[in-house]
């Protein structure tokens, strides 16, 4: 594995160190995180743009409703595959190089989608695009978490969430305001621009020091840490901790997915995968994808339904930004426990509003208030920690596989929710569906309370040590906001 060190050229290392010395380690780290978070923008834009493009795609290719569902959901299927495959690849190739690979796939696939001569080739391009979306969602939060100091890790990782929201918002604005100026082909292809910016920028960014130590490239890891830490004392202390954990896990780890069955890692897997599932099953994607459909079918005008969807996207961005500012002060666990009950109550109230006499059009402001209330409490709560917990709780020896499984669980839950939301409303009505998703939010609260520990201010190595010592889970009688 040491031969891989030749990949890093002396020119790149010298430029990286010079830039870090000139602008300061903290600013360099922040710049690295902001650049890497462009992958989140691509994720948000490429998943969200289909809502504004689908009508024209269906007209050009004469698609029936079932074919439209396939074109929409095939990206999510690709994301499940990408999240499972790219975690393993990132363990061999490195986090930085894996981000570069999926970014290149982003660029090629969006151009291919824009040039697609038929629905088949458009679906194929979106399947490949989904692979990139899933791969980036697995590796980018891990890369950021492994670079960030413990006290700032939450704020750093949630830049990725904010970037996702900005991508969704940008897609909504394109769909709302550029229908006359841009064809659906342009809507897809324009995403190649941020992909090219990210790919070029990643060439000069550092590799994860934790991955380098895992490959026995300790001096390179020291150099990388030196670019993102203020003092040599911080570098030496952190490097010793990383080496200690890395050496121990090399002795204890097993090949293949069998390592995930070790009893001592099970609490981390339950906590992480449970949060991943509830991040989607709580209903956030249902609101992002189907708000115009729900509101239009309930009697809202098409224009009001569409602008309401923009409001949903804007709230997502605002609340994930606020969550970023709060998560390292309030804590991951506490933030979720405070917000989730109100998200559940908002959905229950929304279900009642849809069933009030007079129809939805008579109570549209109450419906919008409940809808936006749900977005405030869901996007500002569990959505903030969905990717963050997955980047924090898994020990180093299984991190690549576990984060792959984490992303696959999140995307798989998304796929289930997206493919059943309209069927659910057909069975239960829109109001009944809201009550069902409200119950899932309440169940998510119970899960977080009993199964998810607080990770605020703890290094990745301290979290792993708590797993080994059996002190990972929150105490059964811990005070709710302790």
> Same fold for the domain at 11-207 and the one at 254-482?
yes
Between helices 38-48 and 95-115, what is the axis angle to 10°? 30
Q: Taking residues 376-396, what's their average pLDDT? A: 87
Q: Taking residues 62-74, what's their average pLDDT? A: 80
The confidence score (pLDDT) of residue 284 equals: 82
Q: What pLDDT band is residue 22 in, cutting at 50, 70 and 90?
A: very low
CA distance 87 to 83: 6
3-state secondary structure 325-394: HHHHHHCHHHHHHHHHHHHHHHHHHHHHHHCCCCCHHHHHHHHHHHHHHHHHHHHCCHHHHHHHHHHHCC
The string of pLDDT tens digits covering residues 439-467 is 999 999 999 999 999 988 888 888 888 88
**CATH class as words, domain 11-207:** mainly alpha
Q: Is the pLDDT of residue 431 over 80?
A: yes
Q: How much is the mean pLDDT over the chain?
A: 83
Out of 22-26, 388-392, 475-479, least confident range: 475-479
Residue with tokens 């189907």: 290
Distance, C-alpha 379 to centroid of its chain: 12
Q: Which of 123, 92, 126 is nearest to 110 (CA)?
A: 126
Q: How far is CA 175 from CA 124, 172, 188, 225, 267, in A?
A: 22, 5, 11, 42, 43
Q: Which of 75, 130, 68 is nearest to 422 (CA)?
A: 68
The string of pLDDT tens digits covering residues 198-248 is 999 998 888 888 888 888 888 888 888 888 887 888 888 888 888 877 776
Q: Which residues contact 140 (CB under 8 A, 6 or more apart)?
A: 36, 37, 39, 40, 99, 160
Residue with tokens 């780290």: 29
CA distance 121 to 81: 19
The confidence score (pLDDT) of residue 234 equals: 83
Tokens linked to 443: 């169940």
Q: Which of 202, 204, 224, 205 is nearest to 213 (CA)?
A: 224
Tokens linked to 64: 């029936």
Tokens linked to 327: 């998560």
Using the Cα atoms of residue 207, residue 212, residue 215 and residue 216 in order, give the sign of their dihedral: positive
How far does the chain reach from its first CA to its final CA, in angstroms?
45
Out of 169-173, 361-365, 475-479, least confident range: 475-479
Q: Is the pLDDT of residue 82 over 80?
A: yes
- Classify residue 322 as exposed, middle or buried by CB count within 10 Å of its CB (0-12, 13-18, 19+): middle
Tokens linked to 257: 């997915």
CA distance 252 to 331: 31
Q: Is the pLDDT of residue 99 over 90?
A: yes
- In the chain, domain spans: 11-207, 254-482
What is the number of other CB atoms lying within 10 angstroms of the CB of residue 70? Answer: 15
Q: Is the pLDDT of residue 194 over 90?
A: yes
The confidence score (pLDDT) of residue 480 equals: 40
Q: Taking residues 384-413, what's their average pLDDT? A: 83
CATH no. for 254-482: 1.20.1250.20
């Amino acid at each position: 594995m040491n031969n891989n060190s030749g990949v890093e050229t002396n020119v790149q290392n010298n430029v990286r160190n010079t830039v870090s010395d000139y602008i300061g380690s903290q600013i360099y780290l922040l710049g690295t995180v902001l650049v890497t978070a462009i992958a989140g923008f691509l994720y948000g834009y490429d998943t969200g743009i289909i809502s504004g493009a689908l009508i024209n795609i269906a007209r050009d290719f004469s698609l029936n409703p079932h074919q439209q569902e396939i074109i929409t959901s095939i990206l999510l299927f690709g994301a499940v595959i990408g999240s499972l495959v790219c975690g393993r690849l990132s363990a061999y190739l490195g986090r930085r190089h894996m981000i570069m690979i999926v970014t290149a796939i982003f660029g090629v696939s969006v151009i291919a989608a824009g040039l697609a001569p038929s629905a088949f080739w458009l679906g194929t391009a979106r399947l490949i695009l989904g692979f990139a979306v899933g791969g980036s969602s697995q590796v980018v939060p891990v890369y950021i978490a492994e670079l960030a100091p413990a006290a700032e890790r939450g704020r750093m990782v949630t830049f990725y969430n904010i970037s996702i929201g900005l991508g969704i918002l940008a897609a909504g604005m394109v769909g709302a305001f550029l229908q006359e100026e841009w064809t659906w082909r342009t809507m897809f292809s324009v995403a190649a621009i941020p992909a090219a910016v990210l790919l070029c920028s990643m060439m000069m960014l550092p590799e994860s020091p934790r991955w380098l130590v895992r490959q026995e490239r300790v001096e390179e890891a020291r150099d990388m840490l030196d670019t993102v830490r203020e003092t040599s004392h911080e570098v030496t202390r952190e490097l010793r901790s990383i080496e200690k954990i890395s050496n121990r896990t090399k002795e204890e780890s097993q090949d293949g997915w069998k390592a995930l069955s070790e009893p001592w890692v099970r609490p981390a897997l339950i906590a992480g995968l449970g949060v991943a599932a509830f991040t989607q099953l709580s209903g956030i994607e249902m609101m992002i994808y189907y708000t115009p459909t729900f509101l239009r079918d309930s009697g809202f005008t098409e224009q009001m339904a569409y602008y309401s969807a923009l409001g949903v996207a804007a709230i997502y961005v605002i609340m994930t930004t606020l969550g970023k500012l709060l998560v390292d002060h309030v804590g991951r666990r506490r933030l979720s426990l405070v917000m989730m009950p109100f998200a559940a109550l908002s959905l229950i109230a929304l279900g009642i509003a849809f069933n009030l006499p007079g129809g939805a059009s008579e109570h549209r402001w109450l419906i919008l208030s409940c809808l936006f209330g749900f977005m405030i409490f869901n996007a500002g709560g569990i959505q903030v920690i969905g990717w963050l917990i997955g980047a924090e709780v898994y020990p180093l020896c299984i991190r690549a596989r576990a984060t792959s499984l984490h992303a696959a669980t999140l995307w798989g839950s998304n796929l289930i929710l997206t493919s059943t939301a309209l069927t659910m409303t057909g069975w239960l009505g829109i109001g009944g569906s809201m009550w069902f998703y409200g119950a899932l939010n309440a169940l998510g609260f119970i899960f977080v309370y009993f199964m998810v520990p607080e990770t605020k201010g703890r290094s990745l190595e301290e979290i792993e040590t708590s797993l080994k010592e059996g002190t990972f889970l929150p105490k059964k009688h811990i005070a709710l906001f302790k």
